[in-house]
Amino acid sequence: MKKRVVQILGAFVLVAVVLSGCGKQQSNGEGGSTKNSDSKNYVYSCEILPINQEAPALGQMIKVGDTIYGYGYNWSDDYANATLDFYEIKEDGSMGNTFSFEEPNGTSYSNICADDAGNLFCIKNVYGSSQGEGIAGDSTAEAEAEGETLEEDYYDDYYLAGLSLNGEETFSVKLNDVPELQELEQQEGYFSVYGMFAAKDSLYVSCMGKYVKFDKEGNCQGFLTSGSNEEEFDGAYMVTLQNGTVVAETYKDDGVYLSQVDLEAGTMQEGSKLPGSSYGYSLYPGIGYDLYLADGNGVYGYNLGQEDKTKLFDFVASDLGCYGLGNLLALSETQFLATYSDSEVDSVVAKFTKVPPEEVKNKQVITLAMAFSDWQVRTEVIKFNKNSDTYRIELQDYSAYATDEDYRAGLTKLNADLASGKVPDILLLDSGMPVESYQNKGLFEDLKPFIEKDEELELDNFMPNIIEAFSSGGKLYSIVPGYSIQTLAVKTADVGNATSWTVEEAQKVLASKPEGTQFLAETTRDQMLNYCINMAGSQFVDQESGKCSFSSDEFINLLEFVKTFPEKYDDQDFDEDYYNNYDSMWRQGKVLAYSAYLGDFGSFNRLKKGTFGEDITLIGFPANGENGSVIMPSIRFAMSSKSANKDAAWQFIRTFLMEDYQKDMGYLPISISQMEKMAQEATQKPYYMDENGNKVEYDDTWYIGDTEITISPMTEQETKDYMAFLQSCNKVYMEDEALLQIVQEEAAPFFAGQKSARDVAGIIQSRAQLYVNETR
């Protein structure tokens, strides 16, 4: 029972998360074309309502007739029982009438909906088990006397129920006993209820992929659809608009579609695809628009059939650091209620009211552009804007241009804008940008002088290899507050303490192992080729001079090594025993190297003492003998050399270099002092603070199959060795899809046995050099 209660609670939380629109962090605003005057049009105020303090359990909202109710589950301390509590939300945001429904262990209410007449309806699930006869058909008493195991009779029953506003059920119909559904259950082999909605004088319940029509007393009226159009409704989510029109949200291969439903005919019209990245929205009935679309960045108005949406509410412009809105209920064209959460509050009900543009305070604008949404940058933008009376950072989130077909469309658009001279004051760089080309064209400002004259920052306190890796010609055109390292880990017993290895050396070590030993676990040829470009590509393209060396013996050897990897794996290549023993493969020597992402000290410690169980060497990707480990920035800032607000832009960028940010960012910090503190903490057991403020230590553990392994804290020598490794990394991870495509296309004849490695390397060199010359 307890397990089932936990499952139900978890499902309720999951539904709440889905409704909050907190999926992918993608903006769908105006991107880089947004002007400050435009941003004033998207500002809303946020008022947290008093009902949050008055109602002990509140998570959802529903409009019952003309009255708005909030409701939620109020659980007992042992989670054995709960009540479903409803609270009237009055106009001033305080609590009015309340009523509750008992929800004993084994009962749950879901899919709560209402009609215009003020009636509530829901699906009630009653589940559990009862002991039956003994295993041989004996009575319960006889079976217990003989020590036999009693069989349990499990039941899982669903009811369509009506609820009154005084806490009583007005009717209850067991859906499992409805003849039409019994027949459907026999056909499908199971019974389930997925959802319900009310429309006009009927209720529509989704059972086993079909919508079933009931009147408002619970009498079955048959199926909504039949024949060839059944599949259209399978899995569709229904939204009832303010005018009573029902719209079906359906998922197709190329995105999310909305279609108007004819309930009388049981059909839906040809749908229209939601604009942009269609999977990121939550849908709500709108006022002034058919629908409101909410995502992690704002709220938009949308009319059925239109190609685009209209931005109404921008979270950043409103200084609202929320993770998304849920349960949005429109009050007027400029006001609505919704639940929201941010770093300071958790799931509260608030009233959002549009602020007239003329009442929004004028500030000097600093533009910050990014190709993909970064939540931490956005959070810091909001903090900066709240604290500054003079400046305001206007966030240009180019992920607005992303579509279901091309998630990188924003990156393409941003690169095009930069190439045309549209450079923001601050740019969040991406690994898919031709950064060196922008630097060579003088687009970026040298940030080193800003650090040197900053009274609270010391250049000597920053990891010197990180500063060097992101410098060019002695100038620091971009700054990286935090980073991780991607490398290959190998047993020290196999490679010694080498800091790098060539392809020949890697092949020699692999050849010394038993037949069947994998170099990297389950790595295909294409995946290995990706590694070549992303991890070792910088060794074949000199970023300073732009000279390529893909015709070198080192690259030819690399191609020959890649060819030894399988083109693909089949399911039969790995049986159940393989996966049962997967975690132990590095200890047993069945796999030589491990591709590791190291973002702290603990990840290295667990890799050494857990995955391998012995000393390891972080040797990197094999190439031409240089350091094969690469630096992967968490975020990377550049400042426009043409910015009119350089000092103000620096005030924002420096935030990420301050100790307060450096100590809690979740990556390896650029700050040496913070790195030393991390090293010291790594020599101690992990701990947490209990409710009394006491420090409680615990063991860090790792599992190899079912065997639990205690990971001991690092020794001081281990932390020193690891720090030395981190300071040795000087290559930057590169992600160049165009270059990768050149290599893939031209290497294919070699992999197919049609050309030699040297022949294709020459062609790759020619094309790659031309590409690099054109993009510098």
Q: What is the pLDDT of residue 581?
A: 87
Which residue from 559, 506, 531 is spatially nearest to 756, judged by alpha carbons?
559
Q: What is the pLDDT of residue 147?
A: 57
**Residues 654, 736: one domain?**
no
Which residue from 433, 398, 403 is spatially nearest to 419, judged by alpha carbons?
433
**Residues 553, 441: one domain?**
no
Given a cut of 50, whether residue 137 has pLDDT beyond it is no
Pairing of strands 272-273, 291-294: unpaired
The lowest-confidence range among 41-45, 355-359, 432-436 is 432-436
Is residue 88 within 8 Å of residue 139, measured between CB atoms? Answer: no
With bands split at pLDDT 50, 70 and 90, how would you rate the model's confidence at 65? confident
Query: What percent of the chain has pLDDT above 90?
Result: 67
Q: Quick one: average pLDDT of 274-282?
A: 91
Residue 489 sits in a domain of what CATH number?
3.40.190
Q: How far is CA 109 from the centre of its chain?
A: 29
Q: Whole-angstrom Cα distance, residue 271 to residue 387? A: 46
Q: What is the pLDDT of residue 509?
A: 96
- Quickly list H helices, 65-215: 140-145, 179-188
User: Would residue 664 count as lying in a domain?
Assistant: no
Q: What is the pLDDT of residue 35?
A: 41
**Residues 690, 724: one domain?**
yes
**Residues 648, 754: one domain?**
no
**Comparing 146 with 73, which gets the higher pLDDT?**
73
User: Would residue 353 count as lying in a domain?
Assistant: yes
**Comparing 619 with 25, which gets the higher pLDDT?**
619
Q: Quick one: average pLDDT of 644-653?
A: 97
Q: Quick one: average pLDDT of 88-115?
A: 91
Is residue 173 within 8 Å of residue 216, measured between CB atoms? Answer: no
Query: Domain end: 336, 357, 378, which one?
Result: 357
**Residues 454, 499: one domain?**
no
**Comparing 577 with 453, which gets the higher pLDDT?**
453
Q: Whole-angstrom Cα distance, residue 114 to residue 203? A: 10
Q: What is the pLDDT of residue 31?
A: 34
CB atoms within 10 A of CB 190: 8
Pairing of strands 630-633, 731-732: parallel
596: phi then psi, degrees, rounded to nearest 5: -115, 140
User: Would residue 671 count as lying in a domain?
Assistant: no
Q: Whole-angstrom Cα distance, residue 243 to residue 118? A: 16
Give CB contacts under 8 A, 24+ apart, made by 384-390: 384/651, 384/652, 384/655, 385/316, 385/319, 386/319, 388/363, 389/363, 390/363, 390/364, 390/648
Reading across the β-sheet that carries 282-285, which strands appear in turn?
A: 282-285, 291-294, 298-302, 310-314
Residue 54 sits in a domain of what CATH number?
2.120.10.30
Is residue 398 within 8 Å of residue 369, measured between CB atoms? Answer: yes
Given a cut of 80, whether residue 195 has pLDDT beyond it is yes
With bands split at pLDDT 50, 70 and 90, how would you rate the model's confidence at 136? very low
**Residues 373, 348: one domain?**
no
Q: Whole-angstrom Cα distance, residue 632 to residue 414? A: 21
pLDDT tens, position by position, 579-638: 888 899 999 999 999 999 999 999 999 999 999 999 999 999 987 767 889 999 999 999
Query: What percent of the chain has pLDDT above 70?
Result: 91
**Residues 459, 606: one domain?**
no
Q: Whole-angstrom Cα distance, residue 8 to residue 295? A: 26
Q: What is the pLDDT of residue 453?
A: 96
With bands split at pLDDT 50, 70 and 90, how would you rate the model's confidence at 18? very low
**Comparing 231 with 604, which gets the higher pLDDT?**
604
What pTM was estimated for this model as a whole?
0.84
Mean pLDDT of the chain: 88
Domain that includes residue 29, residue range:
2-357
Q: Whole-angstrom Cα distance, residue 124 to residue 134? A: 31
User: Would residue 668 count as lying in a domain?
Assistant: no
Query: Domain end: 318, 337, 357, which one?
Result: 357
**Residues 445, 492: one domain?**
no
Given a cut of 90, whether residue 710 has pLDDT beyond it is yes
User: Would residue 670 count as lying in a domain?
Assistant: no
pLDDT tens, position by position, 674-693: 999 999 999 999 999 988 88
Q: Whole-angstrom Cα distance, residue 527 to residue 533? A: 10
**Residues 273, 379: one domain?**
no
Query: Domain end: 357, 383, 414, which one?
Result: 357
Q: What is the pLDDT of residue 643?
A: 96
Is residue 18 within 8 Å of residue 249, measured between CB atoms? Answer: no
User: Would residue 312 count as lying in a domain?
Assistant: yes
Tell me which residue has tokens 């305070």: 361
User: Would residue 667 count as lying in a domain?
Assistant: no
User: Would residue 672 count as lying in a domain?
Assistant: no
Number of domains in the chain: 3
* Distances from the Cα of 731 to the Cα of 465, 471, 624, angstroms: 9, 12, 13
Given a cut of 60, whether residue 199 has pLDDT beyond it is yes
Is residue 120 within 8 Å of residue 64, measured between CB atoms? Answer: yes
Residue 458 sits in a domain of what CATH number?
3.40.190.10
Is residue 652 within 8 Å of residue 380, measured between CB atoms? Answer: yes
* Distances from the Cα of 361 to the Cα of 32, 57, 353, 384, 557, angstroms: 22, 37, 16, 15, 62
CB atoms within 10 A of CB 443: 20
Q: Whole-angstrom Cα distance, residue 595 to residue 420? A: 39
pLDDT tens, position by position, 525-573: 999 999 888 888 888 888 778 899 999 999 999 999 999 999 988 877 7
**Residues 497, 440: one domain?**
no
Q: What is the pLDDT of residue 13?
A: 34
Tokens of 700: 């860090």
**Residues 169, 232: one domain?**
yes
Given a cut of 60, whether residue 300 has pLDDT beyond it is yes
**Residues 163, 129: one domain?**
yes
Given a cut of 70, whether residue 226 has pLDDT beyond it is no
pLDDT tens, position by position, 453-492: 999 999 999 999 999 999 998 999 999 999 999 999 999 9
Given a cut of 80, whether residue 6 has pLDDT beyond it is no
With bands split at pLDDT 50, 70 and 90, how would you rate the model's confidence at 24? very low
Q: Whole-angstrom Cα distance, residue 286 to residue 288? A: 6
Pairing of strands 237-240, 335-342: unpaired
pLDDT tens, position by position, 303-334: 998 989 999 999 999 999 987 899 999 999 99
Q: Whole-angstrom Cα distance, residue 705 to residue 702? A: 10
Pairing of strands 364-370, 426-428: parallel
Burial level of 133, CB count in 10 A (0-12/13-18/19+)? middle
Q: What is the pLDDT of residue 131?
A: 60
Given a cut of 90, whether residue 204 has pLDDT beyond it is yes
